[in-house]
Each structure stands twice: as structure tokens, then as C-alpha cells.
Amino acid sequence: MPPARTSLTHWGGFTATTEGGDIASVRPLDGDADPSPALGNLPGSVRHRARITGPAVRRGWLDSGPGPTERRGADEFVAVSWDELTELLATELRRVIDTHGNEAIYGGSYGWSSAGRFHHAQSQVHRFLNCLGGYTFSRHSYSLGATGVIMPRVVGTHDDLFKRSTQWEVIVEHTDLLVCFGGLALKNTGVNHGGTTAHPARDSLRRFRDRGGRIVSLSPLRDDVDGPCDWLAPVPGTDVAIMLALAHVLATESLADRDFLTKYCFGYERFERYLLGIDDGVPKSPQWAAPICGLAADDLVALARRMAAGRTLVTVSWSLQRTRHGEQAPWMGLTLAAMLGQIGLPGGGFGHGYGSMNEPGLAPLRCGLPRLPQGINPVPAFIPVAAVSDMLLQPGQPFDYNGNRLRYPDIKLVYWAGGNPFHHHQNIPRLRRALARPQTVVVHDPYWTAMAKHADIVVPSTTFAERDDFSGSRNDPVLMAMPKLTEPYAQARDDYQTFAALADRLGVGDAFTEGRDTRQWLAHLYEKWSMTLDFEVPTFEEFWAAGALRLPTDDGLTLLADFRADPYTHQLNTPSGLIEIFSADIHGFGYDDCAGHPKWFEPTEWLGGARAQRYPLHLLANQPASRLHSQLDAGAASQSSKVSGREPIRLNPADARDRGLTAGDVVRVFNDRGACLAGVVLDAGVRPRVVQLSTGAWYDPAEPADPDSLCLHGNPNVLTDDVGTSALAHGCTGAHVLVQVEKYGGAPPPVRAHRPPVIRPARG
């Protein structure tokens, strides 16, 4: 057996043993106090039956050529050689560019495929397409589509909310009260983009409580905070109404810090007119909010007074902005914190994303990290990332975005590497119809995911375990070498090899490779990075031999402390230089679904609306505890969470009794958009009339040729509505949806999600 080696993934560092060309066992890094259970998905992942073993082309594309088709996802594939694939793909790229221009290519890749700095699929495909003259790109992320637009306008930054957030050590020492809208789910802190070597959140909360700190969790799910807390379980989607009610108490009981609002904020007076109901006659009081949110008015009053009585940190989870009008929750959370006047004080103020990823609360690096240059994209066309189906179904149609009037490009070729939109994107039936529109769909993937099964040209990629790389994240003190753990499986190649061959065939080989192989690129990126540093680091060969390099961090940070200390020297990047509780720019856009200040908008998918008469359960489609997104769904940790082979759906026991359901039953979850099967788990920690079904179960249609087919495995995106948060951001709204649940009659069909499609031998 080869010696154990250390490597890094988005969900943690580990030491692995290998056997027979696969990962045999993994052990978390020493010193990681709370390693992610998702590491358990790694053993057996390299040679799993879901791996793509060689290049393949969809039968219909190979026989009939490029063109729109409804056969994607239902056709068989033909195995081809690497030389054939390179020639076919190069010829098609040249045809599309010459006939339709580079704007007709959508480089629709997502950044979570590997923690590696060089073998980062999104960077590789974007570098390649830029060498060819560019591509239509996407902005922001499914996780933070609304926040990525609203927060730069109101607080002048987005990334700093996470990478320079108030650190756990500061919270442990100074915070009296954590008020967590959307909870603070430790399951999500297992993950960090680019890798993570420590998971301190659980221990930090333990020490925080030991010092006397208290947590208030406002979430329909009790386990959104692990351990003791004051749990308030509101109607889902009503967080903004709750925050307004708390703000109303602060304003009317002289608990708001008027000096802070005057010195550090812009436009509070405009907002307060709305808050007090001066213009619309509706004070946003606890008595107003109580019937909306399902919480007692007296409890809201008491909470507001508690918040004003000590050092309070207001946190808003990412999940709250993944719904219609999702811009409002983080904006209102920031406004509420501003009214308390504690922004910039140790342990007080505002936080966004604690419990959404491991990054918030960690110390940032004092330096950048090596990265592969992607080059310059000369194509100006882009879409908000969650508007893929809109773009493909509505070419040439105008849309509003962040104060601009744009048009969807006419996409002929979709090039996807490093992501699975069947996990991220809302309304899979609509997505499938959208994917029928392009002339060609190209997918790089190690596994036969649903996206790979909907491709015309399938490129078998290596996993992180089959290639050399290094990685680290901006809030983790370790740059770690990632030597390959095993040889590539079957005919898999890393994306760099694939793109190098394509670039050479298309006449841009030198521009793409710059004459370097993988090892030379790793050394070049490291050495170029090292020249930018103000401290000494070992040579690349020394780093590689050592396996890791510890980097300096900025410790003891409090979010916006510099701004608080001197708002003139450290002005925010907003029009006023201050926190914009009222934004004249947003107000001037005139959008009906986003006002110039935080505002309550009634959701379309919520228990207080007319739609709930038909679909009386509110489904929360949150992130899974057993995997990262949909990655390695076939792994042991993910599979151990399944019920009868399906994704588990949690119900309150009372809702289960009303439907004649017991634990372990297979149920049909449905609305007028689609349906899926899931396995019942009973949990009194789920608010009545709320159900929870995580995203990430690989899409498995009962009838692959039918876009509206029942998903046998439990993917909630067959149910979600494909509509943006607002005209401002067009963020993803896939976290909330109304459904009905009923027991599935008869024997449930087998789950086939992890089986490869039919692949015929190479012709001739």
C-alpha cells in the first residue's frame, strides 16, 4: 500500500491512504477540532461506477450535428477517442465563433469543483475561452446573488463582510447576545471555498456560552443552532417583518442610537418615516408583525429591549436572501444593527453568513494567494448567474439588472466545467427546456451528473485526487501542497491537458500554456506569488517537500472598526461614504420590487399567501449536512443520510399524522411545477407546516425524455420557482417553496441517479 499523503478539500484537510487506485481511508488533520463528516465521502470516490471513463458524444449530435433538441438527458452516448473528441470540439468551437461570434458561447462554470489553485475548473475554462476571444459570463453566485448587489450599494463592500468579519475570538470575549436570523447552522461551517484546515465555530460557541453569552435563533428549524439557545420559530420568509418590529421598538422607546445614525449613516430619517407608518399609515410595530411572523408581540418587544441592553451582534444567514425580495433581509439586518449603534465595536454590530460557511469569523491572510491568470475577456455580455434559463429561453429579450437595462445574448454553445446546475438552479423542468435550445452543450466532469447526461460532448475530467496542485483560502493560515493520491482513472484527463490540446488545435496553444506543463505552472505561480510578499517563504521545491506553508493572518478584527474610529479617513465605498439606510440610487431605479430603503414585501411563496391554500407546507431547501452541494452524493457519508435510498425530508410529527405518515415512508412532494420522492424523517424541531429537504440529491427523472417527470431521488429544484430576487439583483430564490406531501402508493421505483447512461462502443 502506498504511504499516506496529506491533501485538502473545500470541506477540510486530511491524510489519506490509497489502495487499488482509489482512496481507501481518510483521517482529518491533527488539530482540527470539528472535522466535517463529508470527508467520509472520499473513500471509494475515484473508481465509483458514476465516474466517466472516457470521452463520449451524444448519439443524436454525432449523427445529426449541432442543433436544438429535446433529446438531451434522454439519449445514449457513443464512446470516442481523445483525438476524435479534440477534433470534434475544436471544429465546433471554431464554427460557432466564426458564424455567431464569441458572445454566442456561455462559459457557465461554477467555482466549487476543486480546492486547487491551478486545477480550478472555472479558471481553466475561462482562461481557455479568453484565449479564443472571450465568452458570455455570469456574475455573482447562487449563494449570494442578492447580497452581492445590495451590500456594495449600502455598505460599500461585499467580500469584506466575510473575509474581514468580526472574528470568533472577539465574539467569545466581548459579545453578550447573538441574535441570529436564519440561525447559525454548524453543518455549513464544514466548508470553505479553497479549503480549510480548522473548524473553530463549535468550540467558539461553547466558550462563548461558558462566559455567559446567549444566543437567540430565529429560524423554523431548531437545529439551525447547535446547543442551548432561545429558539423563536417564525413563519418562514418573514424575517424582515420581525426586524422592522424590533426596529420600531428601538425607535419608539428611545433605544436607538441617534448619534450613531447621524454620524455614520445616511438616510435614516427617510426609513423612519416608513418604520413609523407616517406616510402609509401602517406602523411596523410588534403588533403589526405578530400575525405575519407567527411570534408574540410581547416576545418581540422583549427581544428588542434585550438587544439594546448589552453588546449585541446581529447576524443574517445567507439563506434569507435566497428568496423573492432577498435583498431586504441583509439590508434590514444592517439597519437594525446601525440603530443599536454598535457597528465597529468589539463583539457588536452586524454579521452576514455566520453558520453559512466556515469563513465568517476566521482571521484573514495578510497576503493574497497564488492564482492562475484567466486573461481578459473582451466580450461585455453577462447575466446574473441564476438567469441561465431566462437567457437560453429568451435570447434578445431585455431585462433590468442593478440599474441597467440589458439584453440576453443568443447562446449557441454552452461550455460547462466544474459545476452541476441541476443542484444550484431553480425549476429543473424549465432548465431542461432551456438546455434544449443551444446548438451544442459541452460538459467537463469526473462523474455522470445530470449536467453531464444533458451534454452533447462529454469530457472526462480527473478528480483532485488524481493530479498535483496546491491550495488555500483567504481565511485559512495554511497553503497546502496537494500531491496526487493516485493515477487518473481509466481515460480521465485533467482539464489543463484537455484545454492545452484544444488550444493547440485552434492555434492558441502558446497563449494558453505559455510553454509550461502542470509542474512548471505550479512552480511559476508559487514563485511569482512569493515575489509579492513582504516576508520570506521557502522555495517551491522546499514547500512541496514540506507539504504545507503557514501564512500570517490579521487577528482580532471587528467588522468596520476602522470606519467607526474615523468615518472620514475610512469612508465607505458608497455615494455618501456612509452606511446607506436610504439609497438614492436604488430609489431612482424605480423598481417595484425593491425600494430605496429596507421594506417588507409579501413573499409569493409563504404560508400567509393565497397559494398556501393549495400547497400548505413551506419547504426549506437548505444545504445538506452530509456533502458539499451535490458533490460526491454517492459517497458513504451522503448515502448514510438517505431514507429508502431517497433524500430525507423532515416533517413535524403533527404534519405527518395529518397525512398518515410514519418515519421511513416514501412520499411524493409536489406542487404545480414538479414532484419528487423523498424519505420521511420526523422531527419536532421543525416548525409545524414547515418541511425541510436539502439540495444536492442527484436529479433522477423517472422518464428521462419528459422534462416534467417525477424525480425519484429527491431533488427539491423540481419544485422551486425560476424567478429572480428582484430587478435589482436577479439573485437565486431557490431556498423557499410551497408544496404538498403525500404517501407514495405502491413500490417506489429504484434510484438510478448514480448509474451511467447507455454508452455504445466507438464506431468503425
Q: What are phi and psi of 627, to 5 degrees?
A: -165, 170
321 to 113, 617, 678: CA distances (angstroms):
24, 20, 26
Structure confidence by residue, pLDDT tens digits, 183-221: 999 999 999 989 999 999 999 999 999 999 999 999 999
- Phi, psi dihedrals of residue 623, rounded to the nearest 5°: -80, 150
Q: Pairing relation of β-strands 478-482 and 469-471?
A: antiparallel
Residue ranges and CATH numbers for the domains of the chain are 56-142+368-394+407-548 (3.40.50.740), 158-355+556-589 (3.40.228.10), 610-743 (2.40.40.20)
pLDDT at 388: 97
Residue with cell 418515519: 663
- The answer to whether the beta carbons of residues 284 and 241 sit under 8 Å apart is yes
Cell of 143: 449563494
Cα(381)–Cα(135) distance, integer angstroms: 8
- Condensed to tens digits (0 to 9), the pLDDT of residues 93-146 reads 999 999 999 999 999 877 787 889 999 999 999 999 999 999 999 999 999 999
Predicted pLDDT of residue 113: 78
pLDDT of residue 114: 80
3 state SS for 195-212 = CCCCCCHHHHHHHHHHCC
- pLDDT tens digit sequence for 395-413: 999 999 999 999 999 999 9
Q: Cα–chain-centroid distance for residue 306?
A: 33
The band of 67, judged by pLDDT with boundaries at 50, 70 and 90, is: very high
- pLDDT at residue 90 is higher than 70: yes
Reported confidence tier of residue 2, pLDDT bands at 50, 70, 90: confident
Does 175 have pLDDT greater than 80? yes
Instruction: Write down the pLDDT at residue 109.
Output: 78
Band the pLDDT of 726: cuts 50, 70, 90: very high
> Percent of the chain beyond pLDDT 90?
97
**pLDDT tens-digit map of 703-714:** 999 999 999 999
- φ, ψ for residue 544, nearest 5 deg: -65, -40
The answer to whether the CB of 734 falls within 8 A of the CB of 426 is: yes
What are residue 651's DSSP bridge partners?
Answer: 682, 691
Neighbours of 755 (CB within 10 A): 14
Arithmetic mean of pLDDT over the chain: 97
Segment 565-588 shows an average pLDDT of 98
Q: How far apart are the first and last CA of the chain?
A: 40
**Which residue spans within 642-746 are E strands per DSSP?**
648-651, 666-670, 675-682, 690-693, 736-743
CA 665 to chain centre: 30
Rounded mean pLDDT of 430-434? Answer: 98
Active site residues: 110, 112
- Alpha carbons within 13 angstroms on the beta-carbon side of residue 190 total 19
Buried b (16+ CB within 10 A) or exposed e, 665-684: bbbbbbbebbbbbbbbbbbe
- CA torsion, ordered 35, 37, 42, 45, to nearest 10 deg: -160
Name the grid cell of 184: 447559525
Strand pairing of 382-384 and 137-139?
parallel
Q: Tell me: the pLDDT tens digits for 287-330? A: 999 999 999 999 999 999 999 999 999 999 999 999 999 999 99
For residue 764, pLDDT over 60 is answered with: no
pLDDT at residue 586 above 70?
yes
Distances (CA, A) of 520 to 515, 517, 525: 9, 5, 9
Q: By percentage, how much of the chain surpasses pLDDT 70?
A: 100
Q: Taking Cα atoms as reference points, which of 11, 5, 94 lies closest to residue 635?
A: 11
500-517 in b/e form (b: 16+ CB < 10 A) is bbbbebbebbeebbeeee
Question: pLDDT class for 418, splitting at 50, 70, 90?
Answer: confident
Cell numbers 418581540 correspond to what residue? Answer: 300
Question: Per-residue b/e over 693-705, b at no fewer than 16 CB within 10 Å?
Answer: bbbbbbbbbeebe
**Cβ neighbours of residue 595 closer than 8 Å, sequence gap 6 or more:** 586, 587
User: Which residues are CB-neighbours of 45 under 8 A, at least 6 positions away?
Assistant: 22, 23, 463, 465, 632, 634, 635
Rounded CA-CA distance 165/170 in Å is 10
Tell me the pLDDT band of 80, cut-offs 50, 70 and 90.
Answer: very high
Residue found under cell 463520449: 56
3-state secondary structure of 641: coil
Residue for grid cell 433538441: 69
Q: What is the mean pLDDT of residues 690-712?
A: 98
What is the spatial distance between Cα 123 and Cα 107, in angstroms, rounded to a whole number?
A: 11
Average pLDDT of 176-188? 97
Q: Is the pLDDT of residue 375 over 90?
A: yes
pLDDT at 762: 82
Is the pLDDT assigned to residue 505 strictly greater than 80? yes
